């Protein structure tokens, strides 16, 4: 496999970071931007389509409900209305309740600043634990989504690759089949990226593209890799 060609094809067909596609700029680690990505990650974390999650985030954006204070002020009924407008109907009541509880704990523990949560975390494992302690409903999937795009921005943001990323790597032949440890898989993927970097992209972009590819394979139940020039 020509790995450089494969990675270029991934970006051309699947794009990079989800945060960038939503107009969220995480580079400067500005509290408002990090919070926007946290909100988006909470929406992406449910078993719902990417399109619906994006549409729902755009509804929050359109109505300027993009901070803990404004979410709390909007209240349960207002949040359900936003969620329904975005197509988040299946999880509207549950998600509205979850958001209010998380925002209350978030303000109490960290004064509404996710950078403070990062600062107070001892290491990557502690960071994940502290995020999940913000409220019921922040599980491993949401935590991985959120932290994945903060690699190289937050020093302690170092989640293992998700199962979908690993699926994409295995099915494409990007990594040897004998590697089973997620820690070793992450090291291998990083090594591949270091040797095949694409100008204007970073490792988090590569990981996001692999995630989309993993979703493609998982949902369609067939080999989607031929169109990316793998075989």
Rg (CA), the chain: 18
Distance CA 206, CA 165 (A): 10
Task: Kindly report the pTM of this predicted structure.
Answer: 0.92
Q: Is 161 left (phi over 0), alpha (psi -120 to 50) or beta?
A: beta
Say what the pLDDT of residue 218 is. Answer: 73
Say what the pLDDT of residue 136 is. Answer: 82
Summarised one tens digit per residue, pLDDT across range 37-88 is 999 999 999 888 889 999 999 999 999 999 999 999 999 999 999 999 999 9
Sign of torsion, CA 132 138 144 145?
negative
pLDDT per 10-residue tile (average), the chain, 231 residues: 90 94 95 98 91 96 97 97 94 94 94 96 97 90 96 95 93 87 95 95 96 83 52 39
């Amino acid at each position: 496999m020509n790995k450089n060609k494969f990675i270029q094809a991934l970006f051309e067909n699947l794009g990079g970071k989800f945060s960038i596609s939503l107009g969220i700029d995480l580079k400067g680690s500005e509290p408002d931007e990090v919070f926007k990505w946290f909100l988006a990650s909470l929406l992406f974390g449910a078993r719902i389509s990417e399109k619906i999650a994006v549409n729902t985030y755009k509804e929050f954006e359109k109505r300027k409900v993009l901070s803990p204070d404004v979410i709390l002020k909007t209240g349960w009924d207002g949040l359900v209305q936003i969620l329904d407008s975005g197509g988040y109907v299946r999880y509207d009541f549950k998600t509205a309740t979850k958001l209010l509880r998380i925002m209350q704990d978030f303000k109490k523990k960290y004064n509404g600043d996710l950078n403070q949560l990062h600062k107070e975390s001892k290491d990557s494992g502690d960071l994940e634990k502290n995020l999940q302690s913000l409220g019921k409903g922040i599980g491993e999937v949401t935590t991985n989504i959120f932290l994945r795009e903060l690699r190289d921005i937050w020093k302690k943001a170092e989640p293992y690759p998700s199962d979908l990323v690993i699926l994409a790597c295995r099915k494409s032949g990007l990594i040897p089949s004998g590697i089973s440890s997620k820690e070793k898989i992450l090291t291998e993927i990083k090594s591949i990226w270091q040797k095949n970097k694409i100008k204007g992209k970073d490792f988090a972009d590569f990981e996001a593209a692999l995630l989309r590819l993993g979703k493609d394979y998982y949902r369609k139940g067939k080999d989607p890799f031929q169109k990316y020039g793998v075989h």
